[in-house]
A and B are shown apart, each in its own frame.
Chain A
């Protein structure tokens, strides 16, 4: 989440409302002024609270920079502290503006409770928001994301959908994602990736095809892996093999991550940005697909037995100086 960018937009839009009509050029000038000194433009509690959230997220992201240099204990300690700071900031923000949805979302996610408890809390918040504010409105642009003040609601729904996957509520995840795609078709948050996994797990070939076509069949890690899983589950092994080959070829480190899953920390509050075709993309995808891969216990072994897959995984491992853990040790 680029909180600062949203903060600037929010403040500039609010200022414009006060000033009346502004030309595009004048609005551009206003945005530059806000960026330089946002504090000067904050004149309500709502934005005060959002500023606290912004700062907390920036501090949080900064403190993660050193994670790679920490051993396990140090990492655990740093993580706990980080989450605590986020929780404190969330409470502070809510004491200023109790309706700050991003603060509430972060508060739930930073509590670091079980996925089941998190799902319950996110769902309650989602229901409360819908009850109080009505359905997520479409903007004039035809995409809810265009309205920066609606984005917190989209983030909440996307987080709820991902937690639904983690708590094995795949139809719920799918419905939430389809609703997001209808209201925010540009799908900046990537709900369609979560949706692809849910449809693969539900063995919904028509749904998956529709989603894939909507994506222009360009695909990415989620679509390639999703299709391989879907075809495998449907018992269409030659098609599964082709999809798996595509996944291996197009997703950096993808094969490695199926055979050697890597830890990814909880998203705060949304999926981190990634370059298309990057290792990060494969990492986030396999992390999100973990509950679905666990449900097809023989899939990794099957994938490993396909021509070139294991070799690809091992050579990636070697090239990047990663560790190769033995399967038997993992079991």
Chain B
């Protein structure tokens, strides 16, 4: 599902707009709302909004720049994008000191190590939770149940993102049990798992080589109808790693085949294994089962792929996947080499080829 910042910005203002209308006149309400879309796009300032809405809008701008543009930007523009992004986040915090998305995004850049960023996230988590919960509970009693649900859902999202970020950082820091604990907490708060924190959890189960645990996790959530079935790249990669660690190479290769069957251009992605910086607002919102999704999942799986002592320094599992994929899909290997050569010749970074800027 993922958090799409633009969509959330729209939802916030739409809800506030509807709330500002007089509920009694439905015909008027309908026509006014017709105009909302146009006003949102062209004349945002004319819409009713609070400072916290304005701050969130700035967050969406910063996220667009840092998460979605920066990884594909030419080297010489990178610094400017980062600088602008952080200036925008400063503005957001000036408008709303409780804009925890902005605070978290600033901290991601300000902390020199994963470890110190995780410490920051852990230390402030209860404050963020208390604030978001209070916002979610303080919705006017006049609001209809349906809208109340939406408003409280929006109010909790910064905390959901906070916890998902904690889980992700804990995974990078090698604190896999902490990742699982955080994921469980996030899933309790939001069983529909907007943050897709279960993907991070799947990787942590594989890191702990706890296949029975992953089986239980998948089984307990499967068929709940609240999330996609567990046929996503993260789950496949987790099972692939587990099979590889048990030296069940046939089963491991079976999961490579699953990925190739499920995702377009998966063989190329498995050979390239690009590493991108994680989204600072949230995991990038990409289409389920798209090429982007498998690229993203592989990048997050670095913690599994790059483990172990390997001659090329790539990691044991990483090398094996490249070798097996290239063997089974030689044309994919040729395509990767051809693309790489073209990029080297043009000396230009292109999407999917050169990782982002760390």
The verdict on A92 contacting chain B, using a C-beta distance below 8 Å, is: no
Cross-chain contact B208 with A202 (CB below 8 angstroms)? yes
Instruction: Specify which of B116, B246, B310 lies most central, judged by the most chain A CB atoms within 10 Å of its CB.
Output: B310
Cross-chain contact B247 with A172 (CB below 8 angstroms)? yes
Q: How far is the CA of A203 from the CA of B209 in the complex (A)?
A: 11
Given contacts A115-B316, A233-B174, A298-B115, contact A168 B208 (CB under 8 A): no
- A179-187, A288-296, A317-325: which one contacts chain B? A288-296
Q: How far is the CA of A120 from the CA of B248 in the complex (A)?
A: 11
Cross-chain contact A291 with B308 (CB below 8 angstroms)? yes
The verdict on B138 contacting chain A, using a C-beta distance below 8 Å, is: no
Cross-chain contact B113 with A168 (CB below 8 angstroms)? no
B contact residues, total (Cβ < 8 Å): 29
* A interface bracket (residues with beta carbon within 8 Å of B): 20 to 34
Tell me, rounded to whole Å, the shortest Cβ–Cβ distance linking A29 to chain B: 48
The verdict on A129 contacting chain B, using a C-beta distance below 8 Å, is: no
Cross-chain contact A233 with B175 (CB below 8 angstroms)? yes
Name which residue of chain A comes closest to B117, CB basis.
A298
The verdict on B245 contacting chain A, using a C-beta distance below 8 Å, is: yes
Cross-chain contact B114 with A298 (CB below 8 angstroms)? yes
The verdict on B311 contacting chain A, using a C-beta distance below 8 Å, is: yes
Please encode chain A, from 167 to 192, with 1 for each CB lying within 8 Å of some chain B CB and 0 for all others: 11111100000000000000000000
Q: How far is the CA of A298 from the CA of B112 in the complex (A)?
A: 10
Q: How far is the CA of A119 from the CA of B308 in the complex (A)?
A: 12
Which of A123, A166, A203, A297 is in CB contact (< 8 Å) with B309? A166
Given contacts A116-B319, A234-B177, contact A167 B113 (CB under 8 A): no
Inside 8 A of A114's CB, which chain B residues have their CB?
Answer: 310-311, 319
Cross-chain contact B115 with A233 (CB below 8 angstroms)? no
Name which residue of chain B comes closest to A203, CB basis.
B177
The verdict on A301 contacting chain B, using a C-beta distance below 8 Å, is: yes
Q: How far is the CA of A169 from the CA of B209 in the complex (A)?
A: 8
Cross-chain contact B208 with A116 (CB below 8 angstroms)? no
Inside 8 A of B170's CB, which chain A residues have their CB?
Answer: 235
Tell me, rounded to whole Å, the shortest Cβ–Cβ distance linking A125 to chain B: 13
The verdict on B17 contacting chain A, using a C-beta distance below 8 Å, is: no
The verdict on B301 contacting chain A, using a C-beta distance below 8 Å, is: no
Tell me, rounded to whole Å, the shortest Cβ–Cβ distance linking B171 to chain A: 11
Cross-chain contact A168 with B175 (CB below 8 angstroms)? no
Please encode chain B, from 197 to 217, with 1 for each CB lying within 8 Å of some chain A CB and 0 for all others: 000000000001100000000
Q: How far is the CA of A168 from the CA of B176 in the complex (A)?
A: 15
Inside 8 A of B114's CB, which chain A residues have their CB?
Answer: 297-298
Please encode chain B, from 274 to 290, with 1 for each CB lying within 8 Å of some chain A CB and 0 for all others: 00000000000000000
Tell me, rounded to whole Å, the shortest Cβ–Cβ distance linking B132 to chain A: 23
The verdict on B317 contacting chain A, using a C-beta distance below 8 Å, is: yes
Cross-chain contact A296 with B173 (CB below 8 angstroms)? yes
Inside 8 A of A297's CB, which chain B residues have their CB?
Answer: 114, 172-174
Tell me, rounded to whole Å, the shortest Cβ–Cβ distance linking A78 to chain B: 20
Q: Which secondary structure dominates where chain A touches chain B? A: helix
Inside 8 A of B113's CB, which chain A residues have their CB?
Answer: 298, 301
Cross-chain contact A234 with B178 (CB below 8 angstroms)? yes
The verdict on A267 contacting chain B, using a C-beta distance below 8 Å, is: no
The verdict on A149 contacting chain B, using a C-beta distance below 8 Å, is: no
Name which residue of chain B comes closest to A234, CB basis.
B177
Q: How far is the CA of A120 from the CA of B315 in the complex (A)?
A: 16
Tell me, rounded to whole Å, the shortest Cβ–Cβ distance linking A130 to chain B: 15
Cross-chain contact B247 with A290 (CB below 8 angstroms)? no
Cross-chain contact A169 with B247 (CB below 8 angstroms)? yes
The verdict on A302 contacting chain B, using a C-beta distance below 8 Å, is: yes
The verdict on B253 contacting chain A, using a C-beta distance below 8 Å, is: no
The verdict on B69 contacting chain A, using a C-beta distance below 8 Å, is: no
Cross-chain contact A172 with B308 (CB below 8 angstroms)? no
Residues of chain A from 150 to 166 with CB closer than 8 A to chain B in the complex: 166
Q: How far is the CA of A297 from the CA of B113 in the complex (A)?
A: 9
Inside 8 A of A203's CB, which chain B residues have their CB?
Answer: 175-177, 208
Which of B172, B174, B175, B309 is in CB contact (< 8 Å) with A167? B309
The verdict on B320 contacting chain A, using a C-beta distance below 8 Å, is: yes
Q: How far is the CA of A171 from the CA of B206 in the complex (A)?
A: 11
Instruction: Specify which of B113, B174, B208, B317 lies most central, judged by the most chain A CB atoms within 10 Å of its CB.
Output: B174
Please encode chain B, from 311 to 350, with 1 for each CB lying within 8 Å of some chain A CB and 0 for all others: 1000111011000000000000000000000000000000
Please encode chain A, from 30 to 53, with 1 for each CB lying within 8 Å of some chain B CB and 0 for all others: 000000000000000000000000
Closest 5 CB pairs of A and B: A298-B115, A168-B307, A168-B308, A296-B174, A171-B209
Pick 11 A–B contacts, CB within 8 A, sort by A. Answer: A167-B316, A203-B208, A233-B175, A234-B178, A235-B178, A290-B309, A291-B307, A296-B173, A297-B114, A298-B113, A301-B115
Using A168-B317, A291-B307, A295-B174 as known contacts, list a sample of 10 further A-B pairs with CB atoms less than 8 Å apart, ordered by residue number in A: A119-B247, A120-B247, A123-B247, A166-B316, A172-B245, A202-B208, A203-B177, A291-B309, A296-B173, A298-B115
